[in-house]
Homo-oligomer: A and B are copies of this chain.
Amino acid sequence: MKTSLKILTLVLLSTLMFSLTQDKPTKVIFFGDSITQAGVGPSGYITKMKETLEKQGIKDKYQLIGAGIGGNKVYDLYLRMEDDVLSQKPDVVVIYIGVNDVWHKSSMGTGTDADKFTGFYTAIIKKLQSQGIRVICCTPAVIGERNDNSNQQDGDLNHYSNIIRGLAAKFDCPLIDLRKEFQSYSLKNNPQNKDSGILTTDRVHLNDLGNQFVADLMLKAVVK
């Protein structure tokens, strides 16, 4: 009896060790629009995060997956959440949405009303959390990099960012406050008050520096 007990103990221990060393990586899905779609490109923010993880020697602990589609607004995420996110059974989902919800108001007449933005965003958080997924929220960074709140959509971007900050607090989600970080950065690093070329190429999409900036902020929230 003592022998069989020993064997059982050994089996259990090795199983435990196996599970410790062979632990499945944390699966993180970045759920967003064209900024995230570009995030998996050669100099995209997701690619840069992977590079950093590799340098830190912890690349096997995280599986970073981009799920960004150009032109997406909050309700587009809701529509494709089942197929593009839940089906992959992620541990963490980073929601990075809001630019088009604001921007398309003036460029196409097809933005998202603030109350409906709140409604769909809430529905996404609830559904993800109900599956035990850890949800991280981001505020939309910029549409124009002028640092005196004189970019056309600044009012709305500030408003929708306030909405996201409120939802993150309400549902106890970590918040990556990209808008605040970009605004601070522009105040310090944009003395000519240019509307692009600081962290973006075209007022919205990230240049190399912008991708690194976002990657660093994201990584801090993802790797705890």
Contact = CB atoms under 8 A, between A and B. Distances in A.
A149 B106 CA distance: 18
Contacts of A162: 148, 150
A110 B108 contact: no
A25 interface: no
Q: How many copies does the complex hold?
A: 4
Interface in A140-158: 144, 148-158
Interface string A47-87: 00000000000000000000000000001101100000000
A79 B76 contact: no
A111 B110 contact: yes
Given A105-B108, A148-B158, 17 more contacts: A75-B79, A75-B116, A78-B79, A79-B123, A104-B109, A108-B113, A109-B110, A110-B113, A148-B162, A149-B155, A149-B158, A150-B162, A151-B155, A151-B159, A152-B159, A154-B154, A155-B157
Contacts of A156: 152, 155
Given A110-B105, A110-B110, A79 B119 contact: yes
A192 interface: no
Interface of A: 75-76, 78-79, 104-113, 116, 119-120, 123, 144, 148-159, 162
Rank and list the top 8 A-B pairs by shortest CB-CB distance, nearest first. A154-B155, A105-B109, A150-B158, A150-B159, A149-B149, A75-B75, A110-B113, A155-B155
A141 to B, nearest CB: 14
A67 to B, nearest CB: 17
Contacts of A105: 106, 108-110
Contact of A109 (B75, B79, B109, B158): B109
A98 to B, nearest CB: 13
Contacts of A120: 75, 79
A216 to B, nearest CB: 26
A113 B75 CA distance: 12
A66 B42 CA distance: 48
A221 to B, nearest CB: 24
